[in-house]
Structure 1
Amino acid sequence: MSLLGLLSILLLATATNGKGGKEHSKLSYKVEAVPNSYGEHGEGPHWDIESQSLYYVDIEAGKLLRYDYQENKVYKSKIEGEDLASFVIPIEGQNGKFIVGAARRAIIVDWDGVSNTSKVDSVLFEVEAGEKYAGNRFNDAKVDPRGRFFGGTMQYIGNDTYPLAALYKYDKGNVSTVKKDVGISNGLAWNEKLKKFYYIDTDTYEVNAYDYNFDTGVPSNPKVIFDLHGAKPEDDLLPDGMTIDSEGNLYVATYNGHTVYKVNPSTGEVLLAIKLPTKQITSAAWGGPNLDILYVTTSAINDQPAPAGTTFKVTGLGAKGLPMSKLRL
């Protein structure tokens, strides 16, 4: 199917009742390609309410991208002097400034959201210094509802020591290790009502729920609430990025899976399988004026055919997201 043919795909999805049966009603949703949204390794979507924009990255190109909702247009910017850009998160109270993952550094980048180049302002902090960690880089990151940064690393280049990555927290100038012995640090989400933090280490094939103290920013008591161990080994179905809706359901992107799974974290039940027209699904974020559009990033690395690398918007899901937080310095 041509890319033009993919611009408007109407899909019928059947939710499960948790017992393997089908509900009587069907939910129709629509998947559309965001125009000119290609990134070879699209990742890290962040919806900014103030500018009505979706920020995301093309990791291995060292680029920042911004989809302007009103203009229906994507702007792309190469960060000067940087080869990698793993995530992009706006900084509270500092218009045009973002925290960006660059190798094992978290840098502050200046970008007006339009120019095709952007500049490094400063290095906020660095993790995993030394030759031992030379093959690591930052991967996914988000900010909790109190403005604290959580972001983790992954082994980008082969190393005999494994697992060698970790999840980190940055809070008012202090960097601490949240979790060691991580393979690929990935999806993050919080539920204030239930006082939960959700986290994915892709190499475990699992989504874990933690009790979360919002006053201290400390997670504890991890528990597996969803896993993909039951998938066929040849499919290598991997949990990647993740978001949450206003009712507390998780949306788990699957690398190699063509799918974002809507999951009830209390029961582990798959409520909906949202199908995309390419298999390497990297992450998802709610956006739009009513936070009811699910934006989904994808990757074209490993010689994936079009429309791989396109960012998609999914409407008609009957759900809404939560506002995403900016970094508080």
Structure 2
Amino acid sequence: MTVGLIYPAEDIVGESIVWDAPNRRLLWVDIVGKTIHSLAPATGEHKSWSTPELVTSIGLRKDGGAVVGLKQDVCLWDFDDRFRFLAKIEPDIPGNRLNEGVVGPDGAMWVGTMQNNIAPDGSPLEVTEATGRLYRCAADGSVAALSEDLFSLTNTFVWPTESRVITADTGENEIYCYDYDAEHQHLFHRRTIVSDFDRGLPDGSTMDTEGYIWNCRVVGGGCLLRLDPDGNIDRVVELPCTWPTSCTFGGETLDVLYVTSARFTMEADYLEANPIEGGLFAFEPGVTGSLPYRFG
């Protein structure tokens, strides 16, 4: 299969890509670039919006708008210059920020936090502690902590079933499976399903209709893993970028896999020789995906 560059976004940290089927477009964010992108693959039409601070994730709402994670706030957004505050995550931990955010099958925005690793000028900061946790933000603005477990760098939310959740800690190079008690909004029985895979670190993921998970391997991994919900690796797909960050199925029949990437920490001379880093890539993996869940 051939993986191709479809948009030279030059994202510092491209993330959180989602397929907006009614509008036949992709939406994703550049966290450090404080930008939200849209791209219609069929026409090449691209739009972008600036955000007032770090923008960490984006999901779709049932009413046609979007839900957006900023540095610590979850906001409602209608593709304009206004971000309507919904909830603040961890107001008592100013040194943390949001990272991963995905709308779940329950219609809530599931988000993860981490110690902030981005300086005001966009340069990297060292993560010195595992201070991140997992939360569920409902449409009424209520926030529930899902677990007492601490993460160094939260990533990935995939639901093989409504009572089973796959997530990851990038800093620990581990992918986990939890059971989920919806009545009490609680994750339990965490077990590690992938550990110490020797190419890069786990970042964002999506799931195909055969029940397999596609996981981006960031920080030099340069590939996608396809694995089953028990962590058995089925396939490794080589990518032309070294820091793939998130992925989603899209296109008219959801048969194209789109992948964002990052150029965070890369030197100017390396980027001059490798200008596609931070771009948006696509290929046909031979399987299809499902439409994303919507918030509300």
Q: Which of the residues 200, 218, 233 maps onto 2:168?
A: 200
Q: In 1, Cα distance between the equivalents of 2:62 and 2:184?
A: 20
- The answer to whether the Cα contact below 8 Å between 2:169 and 2:175 also exists between their aligned partners in 1 is yes
Q: TM-score, length-normalised on structure 1?
A: 0.79
- The answer to whether the Cα contact below 8 Å between 1:37 and 1:74 also exists between their aligned partners in 2 is no
1:164-188 residue CA offsets vs partner (Å, 9 max, x unmatched): 1111101242201113422111111
Matched with 2:109 is 149
Q: Which of the residues 135, 151, 154 maps onto 1:168?
A: 135
Give the SS at the match of 2:295: coil
Give the SS at the match of 1:183: coil
**What letter is aligned with 2:131?**
L
Shift of 1:36: 4.0
1:46–1:183 distance in 2 versus 1, CA, 3 Å: same
1:113-140 residue CA offsets vs partner (Å, 9 max, x unmatched): xxxxx3224211002224xx33321111
Matched with 1:250 is 213
Q: In 2, Cα distance between the equivalents of 1:59 and 1:128?
A: 19
Q: In 2, Cα distance between the equivalents of 1:289 and 1:40?
A: 29
Matched, 1:125 2:87: yes
Give the SS at the match of 1:60: coil
Matched with 1:103 is 71
Q: In 2, Cα distance between the equivalents of 1:222 and 1:291?
A: 31
- The answer to whether the Cα contact below 8 Å between 2:127 and 2:152 also exists between their aligned partners in 1 is no
Matched with 2:152 is 183
Matched, 1:56 2:22: no
Matched with 2:95 is 135
Q: In 2, Cα distance between the equivalents of 1:213 and 1:123?
A: 28
In structure 1, stretches of 5+ residues that fail to align are 1-28, 112-117
- The answer to whether the Cα contact below 8 Å between 1:39 and 1:58 also exists between their aligned partners in 2 is yes
Matched, 1:42 2:31: no
Q: In 2, Cα distance between the equivalents of 1:72 and 1:57?
A: 17
1:240-273 residue CA offsets vs partner (Å, 9 max, x unmatched): 111111111111111120011011223x222111
- The answer to whether the Cα contact below 8 Å between 1:135 and 1:159 also exists between their aligned partners in 2 is no
**What letter is aligned with 2:94?**
A
Higher CA-based Rg: 1
1:76-103 residue CA offsets vs partner (Å, 9 max, x unmatched): 1112xx121111112211x3x3211111
Give the number of equivalent residue pairs: 280
In structure 2, stretches of 5+ residues that fail to align are 118-124
Moved more, 166-175 or 274-283: 166-175
Instruction: Tell me how large the CA RMSD over aligned residues is.
Output: 2.0
Matches within 5 A, 1:48-87: 48-79=20-51, 82-87=52-57
Q: In 2, Cα distance between the equivalents of 1:251 and 1:296?
A: 10
Identity %: 24
Greater RCO (Cα-Cα under 8 Å, separation 6 or more): 2
Q: TM-score, length-normalised on structure 2?
A: 0.88
Matched, 1:314 2:283: yes
Q: In 2, Cα distance between the equivalents of 1:72 and 1:160?
A: 38
Q: In 2, Cα distance between the equivalents of 1:156 and 1:212?
A: 27
